[in-house]
Chains A and B, each alone.
Chain A
């Protein structure tokens, strides 16, 4: 590069005029470039700042909470009544509510999402898949409050016809609808994983006379297995963090039960309940939502890290 410059230099004429300008502007230019880079870096670092802020706020409020409540009671107690006169702080009821609703959601979204993904990636005529994929994406964009409406006013009345005596708030309906809500997500992440399997592998299988089903089960699925698992794990993580459907349809009263027909509060539903009640800043009830929020972050973070690990593995292979 320097060679080229000296050559141009010797050439003289009008180009050397530019060269002078270019040289004198060099410092200005470099300074400007530095400033821009710094600004961009600060923006990127904001992402980290948000995380730090989340962790700091949760830890700060939770720490005052745990100054009053023992960690053992918090993690093993089966009664959660932080707003009562004689408060108990055992969060197991909230945890169980979260687990039960998420599990039901998984039972719906796992198989359905997987089947849809396999159908779209291996069986469907390409034209049909092209129409269905954007449709799935559209469904994934529907706000969860709308799903909450369905759960409360459509699915629950329907279930009440099948299961007599089912209360108006119940975990079953909330879990089912939550499952429907994450179907598009599970399907789309699994389908991405299956699509990432190179065509050469499929051709290798078809060239042996394998059918679509055999190719899907024996070649595509093993090759995309960790991606499909990632879709399941990330789907569950969504269910765990989902708020409005459970707050609307499962009720907001903590209830220590594994029976999906019962009403119960999840971690998220409890936070909503407290936030709506306008509790005084600094009270133990106010701090309790940060304590359970911390638990929620830990759980979802755990699922997400596993999910990302699985997803990365499939990328490394191909």
Chain B
């Protein structure tokens, strides 16, 4: 190749690489911008609210006086609702996933269920609130209770758990199943002795991510009419006079962390906004911790389980 041509080629390459530089830089800036803005917002939240994070804040009920208000009823409510949510969504979601992945024949019913799950995952959360308002609150008469909220959020995260479990099951090679079948295992034995244990890491990940979504979810809980000024705790089983039944807490009115935050945020006084910021920190720490655990768990599974 003649020298002149080579120089021309280099000119072209230099021009092309200018674009590389420009787009690479723009991409880096966009990424940095996203990261920086979001970090900035969190820093703002922490600066606003961290000085309210005293032990009293966690041990006090909400109050008319912002300095005395706390989130006791809210975090207890969140914890109880999460228990109901987990008990609803995990068995149902894992079972559904196992059916779809390991049992389902290829027919229109299966297809229908599949389409359903993908679309359910994309239904706006507030619609689950409307479902719960019509079904659990009024038709089934559960009222504005812990049970209603737990069931609602449970249905909402059902698709997340189904999808995560299916992915975990799909990652197990066919050879493992065949090895078990070749020893005479029945289908359920293959599932319960092999697939569920091997998929458990992936299932936990899905469950944690689902619950972290549920714990920060506000809209559906507002829609079912959760009261926002709750200065008491749901009854502890067998305590009080007359003694509460073991499941009375399920039907108790309640509030949860995001509702409490929303309530304070809706007040005009900025002293309450500080409380909202403090509650926001608690919510973020809870969800980020759960998400972080899930991501960590997943990367560990990915690096450990190389079939």
A residues touching B (Cβ–Cβ < 8 Å)? Answer: 22, 29, 32-33, 36-37, 39-41, 43-48, 50-51, 53-54, 57-58, 60-61, 111-112, 115-116, 118-120, 123-124, 132, 134-139, 141-150, 152-154, 180, 183-184, 187, 209-214, 216, 234, 237, 240-244, 247-248, 268, 271-272, 275-276, 278, 281, 289-290, 293, 296-297, 300-301, 304-305, 307-308
Contact = CB atoms under 8 A, between A and B. Distances in A.
Given A36-B188, A146-B45, A47 B38 contact: no
Given A119-B30, A278-B225, A33 B186 contact: yes
A150 B281 CA distance: 12
Interface of B: 13, 16-17, 19-20, 22-24, 26-28, 30-31, 33-35, 37-38, 41, 44-45, 48, 91-93, 95-96, 98-100, 103-104, 112-113, 116-120, 122-131, 133-135, 138, 155, 158-159, 162, 184, 186-188, 209, 212-213, 215-219, 222-225, 258, 261-262, 265-266, 273, 276-277, 280, 283-284, 287-288, 290-292, 295, 299
A209 B13 CA distance: 9
A154 B277 CA distance: 12
For A36, A134, A146, the residue with the greatest tally of chain B CB atoms inside 10 Å of its CB is: A146
Contacts, number: 263
A243 B219 contact: yes
Contacts of A50: 116, 120, 131, 155, 158
B223 A271 contact: yes
B155 A275 contact: no
Contacts of A297: 123-124, 127
Interface of A is mostly: helix
A147 to B, nearest CB: 8
B134 A57 contact: yes
Given A46-B92, A211-B13, A272-B126, 19 more contacts: A43-B99, A48-B116, A50-B158, A51-B120, A54-B130, A138-B295, A141-B290, A145-B216, A146-B45, A149-B276, A153-B48, A154-B41, A211-B17, A211-B19, A213-B20, A214-B16, A243-B126, A271-B130, A275-B133
B103 A41 contact: yes
B28 A119 contact: yes
A248 B265 contact: yes
Task: Name the residue in B31, B133, B186 with the highest tally of chain A Cβ atoms < 10 Å from its Cβ.
Answer: B31
B158 A32 contact: no
Contact of B24 (A119, A153, A184): A119
Contacts of A40: 95-96, 98-99, 103
B124 A243 contact: yes
Contacts of A132: 31, 35
The 4 closest A-B pairs by CB, nearest first: A143-B216, A241-B124, A119-B27, A43-B95
Contacts of B124: 240-243, 268, 296-297, 300
Contacts of A209: 13
